[in-house]
Amino acid sequence: MEHSTSKIRIGALISGGGTNLQAILDSCTQNKIDATMTFTGSDNKNAKGLKRAKKANVPIFIVDYADIINSFKTTSKKFDLPSDFNLEKIKAKQTLFPKNTAADKIDFFLKTRSIAEKQLLDHILPHNIDLLVLAGFMRTMTPYFIDKFTNSPLNPKIMNIHPALLPSFPGTDGYGDTFRYGCKIGGCTVHFIDYGEDTGPILGQKAFTIEDNDTLDDIKKKGLELEWQLFPECIQNYAESRLK
């Protein structure tokens, strides 16, 4: 495929091993996608994927969600809420929680996440990126972050990889849920994020057959191999303005 000479600027957030990050980095260096990786951030200082970014000479940063959440539990004064944080407006937009969820649980989640997300934004916005990819980032984004980063819900530019064929099996354990349900087909999905959990517009999917003797590890292996193909493909489609 003949690619454009101009490249989009992308950034990545990860939480673990960073195999999807590696697939994207390799695709960038091999000119399979018209993109430049400008940074890699993580909520986990021990994420092995950070080493992958360092090896590729990509700047890294860490926002320790766990420390922020634990500190907020003991004293909310240690971390001030962002000055532009409006709890009621953000609660009205989010669709992360069922309607019967206790108000204090929702408030705690949105407050602590906004503190962490403000720190993310402080790192991310100066890079002036075109697209943010969540390459195994295990934290749900709130409307606070989404609105500050995208400026408009009509301008989605946060892309996520999910280990299941959405809309089936949203959440953190897509392959496990697929396996336990007894599905004969598994797969992965790339989608834009919105105010819900894995509910944003689907950009691409790949599927695989689950054999009777497949273990959960077999399913994960099959899925990951497809993820490494699908994510760069969707990023390239974005770079070519082919996603509507």
For residue 152, the model assigns a pLDDT of 72
pLDDT along the chain (244 residues), means of 10: 73 97 97 97 97 97 95 74 94 92 95 96 97 97 95 85 97 95 97 95 97 97 97 96 76
For residue 151, the model assigns a pLDDT of 78
- Give a yes or no: residue 218 inside a domain: no
For residue 230, the model assigns a pLDDT of 98
- Give a yes or no: residue 219 inside a domain: no
- Give a yes or no: residue 80 inside a domain: yes
- Cβ neighbour number for residue 74 with a 10 Å cutoff: 8
- Give a yes or no: residue 150 inside a domain: yes
CATH number of residue 17's parent domain: 3.40.50.170
| Domain span at 99 | 8-163+188-205+225-239
- Give a yes or no: residue 52 inside a domain: yes
For residue 41, the model assigns a pLDDT of 98
Total domains present in the chain: 1
- Hey, what are 229's tokens? 């193909």
- Give a yes or no: residue 201 inside a domain: yes
Catalytic residue of the set 3, 123, 127, 162 = 162
* Amino acid identity, position 206: K
For residue 99, the model assigns a pLDDT of 86
For residue 1, the model assigns a pLDDT of 46
- Give a yes or no: residue 107 inside a domain: yes
For residue 4, the model assigns a pLDDT of 53
CA distances from 9 to 31, 197, 235, 239 (A): 14, 26, 11, 9
- 191 labelled catalytic: no
- Give a yes or no: residue 211 inside a domain: no
Q: Residues near 84 by Cβ (< 8 Å), separated by ≥ 6?
A: 148
Count CA atoms closer than 13 A to 9's CA, side-chain side: 10
**Three-class DSSP category at 234:** helix
DSSP 11: E
Q: Which of 217, 219, 225, 161 is CA-nearest to residue 185? A: 219
pTM above threshold 0.75: yes
